[in-house]
Amino acid sequence: MPRPVKITEPTKVYNMLIKQSQYDALAKIANNMQKKSLEQIAVADLIRDAIDAYISVIEEENDSE
């Protein structure tokens, strides 16, 4: 069975290096969130959500200037 499509917009692949401790923390969070929901939650989902939150904050700061 193929993976479900989670991103409906054009995408870009980006390879990044993070600390093992960061990955382990995100993996634990993703695992706990997945147990509480009916959908798969991966570390990549958490990273994408964090990026969206970061972009929103930066855009709000720029709009207020």
Annotated domain spans of the chain: 20-64
Buried b (16+ CB within 10 A) or exposed e, 7-17: eeeeeeeeeee
If we measure between CA atoms, which residue out of 52, 39, 51, 53 comes closest to residue 6?
Answer: 39
Q: What per-residue confidence (pLDDT) applies to 19?
A: 98
Q: What per-residue confidence (pLDDT) applies to 56?
A: 97
Q: What per-residue confidence (pLDDT) applies to 2?
A: 77
Query: With 80 as the cut, is the pLDDT of residue 1 above it?
Result: no
Q: Is residue 38 very low, low, confident or very high in pLDDT (cuts 50, 70, 90)? A: confident
30 neighbors 44 (Cβ within 8 angstroms) = no
* DSSP states along 6-52: ---S----------HHHHHHHHHHHHHHHHHSSS---HHHHHHHHHH
Query: With 90 as the cut, is the pLDDT of residue 62 above it?
Result: yes
Q: Is residue 41 very low, low, confident or very high in pLDDT (cuts 50, 70, 90)? A: very high
